[in-house]
Amino acid sequence: MRIIGRLDVKNNHVIKGIHLEGLRKVGDPQELAVEYYKQGIEEIVFMDAVASLYNRNNLFHIIQKACEKVFVPIALGGGLRSLDDVSKALNAGADKVVINTALVNRIDLAKEIAQKYGSQCLVGSIEAKRENDSWRVYVDNGREPTKHNVVDWAIKLKEAGVGEILLTSIDQEGTSKGFDIELIKQINESIRCPIIASGGYGNKKHLADLLKIVEPSAIAIAGSLHYKKDTVSSIKQEINSLFIQEKK
């Protein structure tokens, strides 16, 4: 299970909130990327938190700089709406693109990206919020609800050519109260597609709770690293320890 550092960026600052709201500045994106790389992070996701509002991504220059010092896969998301946008992201140094709103607006974009660049290049982002016994898909950084049920939408994304899914629980995001394990389990059982679980990690007990039930391909961590409550190396050690215990 990979550990991914998630950097949500607004106006050249890494920001963090709760339930994707109440955002506060927590650091410089390039400095944090380098710090997490030195700690042993396996991938970094840069998300432009306001790009969908303005129909553009402003992070191309940031990842260009980051690529000079960070030598792990980099994914870029936010405001990417066309093949041309994807091309710009890849030319700037991204290995993958992360797309939510544009796929909800036009699912065929996934097929076009997969055909031109390969499924491994495309991460479908799902922002999920619980409604009674299911979850609804949200867009625009958790601001706008859609008509889509999360499980049904995940299936459609996979069928359209998405190679991986970044699954963010809006309910758990920023709370440090643990992952939405039921949500992750349902998606994992519904599709054969790598899942990045995002939203809720707060301490190492949450890893044990998660891995007892389901093993996503990766977890995305933000606040616990930004606020120095944890380190990449200590999280890796805990994951390895849990896997060793499981095999005994």
164 closest CA partner among 113, 135, 123:
123
CB atoms within 10 A of CB 106: 12
Query: Which residues have a Cβ under 8 Å from the Cβ of 31 and sit 6 or more positions away?
Result: none
**Torsion of the alpha carbons at 173, 175, 178 and 181, rounded to the nearest 10:** -40
Cα 205 to chain centroid, rounded = 21
- Does the active-site annotation cover 21? no
231 sits in which H/E element: none
The answer to whether residues 42 and 6 touch, using CB atoms and an 8 Å cutoff, is: no
Catalytic residue selected from 48, 85, 127, 164: 127
CA atoms lying within 13 Å on the CB side of residue 154: 26
Catalytic residue selected from 8, 43, 85, 230: 8
The answer to whether residues 121 and 163 touch, using CB atoms and an 8 Å cutoff, is: yes
Q: How many residues does the chain have?
A: 248
- Does the active-site annotation cover 127? yes
The answer to whether residues 80 and 125 touch, using CB atoms and an 8 Å cutoff, is: no
Active site residues: 8, 127
